[in-house]
Amino acid sequence: MTGRLAGRKIVITGAGSGIGRESARQFAREGATLALIDRDEAAAQVTADETGGHVFALDVTDEAAVETVVGRAAEALGGIDGLLNSAGILTMKTVDDIGVEEFRRVVDVNLTGTFLVCQAALPWLRKEPKAAIVNIASAQALLPSLTGSAYAASKAAVMMFSKSIAKELAPAVRVNIICPGATETPMTDQGVAPDDVAGRKALAAVYAMNRLAQPEEIAAGILFLMSDEAAAITGVALAIDNGRTFH
């Protein structure tokens, strides 16, 4: 442990899988104590068994429950000075095929869920000298979608929501965004199965580096933005996308 997050009190949503779980590992290694939130409580518990921390079952779209659970997380941690919103869902339907219910659900989880957790955590974040939020958008927030318009639109909205609150909340709370390209997690498995060799090859070829990212590579960027090393950075969207978005 090098202590880059020593003494920090961090809430993670989507902590039961993929990027959220790997971030929990890296945060814990760097000395943070954690509140691990997921709608899948058993999955969050698996993360906690490895990293320590307090587990909370929550669907981030459940407005009343968000406030209660974030309050309990703050109580358990003795405050909140870091928030990572990694809970999210993927849909890959075209505009011809997607129904309004599915469109609304993607926006509700990815965008409204992020908003609700940020808003509920703010009273605690504002009390802390090192308060930081990291929200997960996507490379699909920066370029027309590989994955369907609903997902891309929800992630572009997460990015601009986050930039906007970075402006509102400065200097009290830093807010930054990570835009991952395709990353080896269960979400990507859902889009292109791991044993679909041709599909995986085609997906990798979308990226200049001709590869997918590992969750460790995404979490390393999240850790940086959460830490004091990024004290001068707010409102920034950092693409970790194997060179899909050059700008």
Is residue 89 close enough to count as binding ligand NAD by CB under 6 A? yes
Q: Is 221 in the site for ligand NAD (CB under 6 A)?
A: no
- What is the smallest separation between the CB atom of 17 and ligand NAD, expressed in angstroms? 3
Shortest CB 104 distance to ligand NAD, Å: 13
**Least distance in angstroms from the C-beta of 3 to ligand NAD:** 26
Of 103, 151, 161, 207, the catalytic one is 151
Rounded to the nearest whole angstrom, what is the least distance from the CB of residue 188 to ligand NAD in the complex? 4
Residue 127 vs residues 33, 43, 81, 94, 235: alpha-carbon distances, Å: 17, 31, 8, 44, 20
Our answer to whether residue 151 is catalytic in this structure is: yes
Give the interface segment with ligand NAD, choosing from 33-41, 120-128, 161-169, 225-233 (CB under 6 A).
33-41
18 lies in the binding site for ligand NAD (CB under 6 A)? yes
Calpha distance 227→9 (Å, rounded)? 12
Q: Does 138 bind ligand NAD (CB under 6 A)?
A: yes
Q: Which of 29, 31, 40, 217 touches ligand NAD (CB under 6 A)? A: 40
Q: Give me the torsion for CA of 73, 22, 166, 58, rounded to 10°.
A: -40
- Identify residues 148-207 at the interface with ligand NAD (CB under 6 A): 180, 182-183, 185-188
Interaction between residue 43 and ligand NAD (CB under 6 A): yes
**Peptide bond preceding 129: is omega within 30 degrees of 0, i.e. cis?**
no
Whole-angstrom Cα distance, residue 135 to residue 192? 24
Closer CB to ligand NAD, 3 or 199, in the complex: 199
What whole-number distance in Å separates Cα of residue 239 and Cα of residue 221? 9
What are the b/e assignments for 74-91, b being 16+ CB within 10 Å? bebbeebbbbbbbbbbbb
Least distance to ligand NAD from the beta carbon of 214, Å?
10
Of 67 and 128, CB closest to ligand NAD = 67
Does 91 bind ligand NAD (CB under 6 A)? Our answer is no
Calpha distance 126→115 (Å, rounded): 16
Q: Based on the shown chain and the rule CB under 6 A, indicate whether residue 88 belongs to the binding site for ligand NAD.
A: yes
CA distances (Å), origin 200, targets 5, 90, 196, 204, 206:
35, 17, 6, 6, 10
Residue carrying structure tokens 């939130």: 37
136 near ligand NAD (CB under 6 A): yes
82 counts as binding ligand NAD under rule CB under 6 A: no
Euclidean distance between CA atoms 169 and 71, whole angstroms: 20
CA distances to 48, 180, 187, 209, 213 from 242, in Å: 30, 9, 18, 5, 7
Distance, CA of 29 to CA of 47 (rounded, Å): 13
Q: Which residues are catalytic?
A: 151
Q: Which residues bind ligand NAD (CB under 6 A)?
A: 13-14, 16-20, 38-40, 43, 58-61, 86-89, 109, 113, 136, 138, 180, 182-183, 185-188
